[in-house]
Every structure is written in C-alpha cells, then in structure tokens.
Amino acid sequence: DSGVTQTPKHLITATGQRVTLRCSPRSGDLSVYWYQQSLDQGLQFLIQYYNGEERAKGNILERFSAQQFPDLHSELNLSSLELGDSALYFCASSVEGGGETQYFGPGTRLLVL
C-alpha cells in the first residue's frame, strides 16, 4: 500500500458526459501528479500540482482539468468524454516534486461507452 488513495476504483459512463476523479496523496506529500494509461499511448503524464498550484502540464487535453485543494487532495475533471478517453488514470504523490520518488495510487479505471 503506497498511501495514495484514489476514488472511484471503476467508472462507467457515456460519451459526452463529465466525470471527476479524486486523489488523496500520502501524508506529508505536497505534490500530486496525474497520469493516463491507455493501450495505444502507454503511460503518459498529464499534469502536476504542488501545494495547490499547477506546476507542469504534459499531454493533457483541453477538455480535462485538475485542481489541488488546501487539504492537498486533488481532482481530475474529464468533460465531453469520448470513447478514446477510456483508460486507467493514476494519481501519484511525492514530498516536493523536484525529482524524488513518486508513489502511485491504485488507479481509476474509466470506461466510456
């Protein structure tokens, strides 16, 4: 158990809908990262937050957004969902975000029908 929690574990929804994925980092970690794992793209970095502020953006679509709250939990919002958004979404956390180890949550499996 990494100490990073993610909810829900599974999510099934329809095209065009909007969903919110939630992540709680390990106790004491200030940085949260979101990754997408799909069959065709592999594991890709989406976005990083550090202590409530956006720090870095990767291959995140404009339909996707994230935020980190004062209690350091983070949410990833996916809107206008398409079939191709079906994937496993991982959250990871680290102490600061400058190059140390990232610890991953169990992931949320999203299926868009």
Partner 1 sequence: GNSVTQMEGPVTLSEEAFLTINCTYTATGYPSLFWYVQYPGEGLQLLLKATKADDKGSNKGFEATYRKETTSFHLEKGSVQVSDSAVYFCALSDRIQGAQKLVFGQGTRLTINP
Footprint of partner 1 (CB under 8 A): 2, 6, 33, 35, 42-45, 48, 50, 55-58, 90, 92, 94, 97-99, 101-107
Q: Kindly tell me which of 14 and 28 has the beta carbon lying closer to partner 1.
A: 28
- Answer for the pair 32, 48: CB distance below 8 angstroms, yes or no: yes
Report d(CA 16, CA 24) in Å as an integer.
Answer: 27
Provide the CA 33 distance to its chain's centre, in angstroms: 6
Phi, psi of 111 (to 5 degrees): -120, 120
- CB-wise, 78 or 92, nearer to partner 1? 92
* CB distance 2 to 94 below 8 Å: no
Supply 69's token pair: 């709250």
Nearer residue to partner 1 within complex by CB, 52 or 106: 106
**Minimum separation from the CB atom of position 37 to partner 1 (A):** 9
As measured in angstroms, the least distance from the Cβ of 100 to partner 1 is 8
Minimum distance of partner 1 from residue 50's CB (angstroms): 7
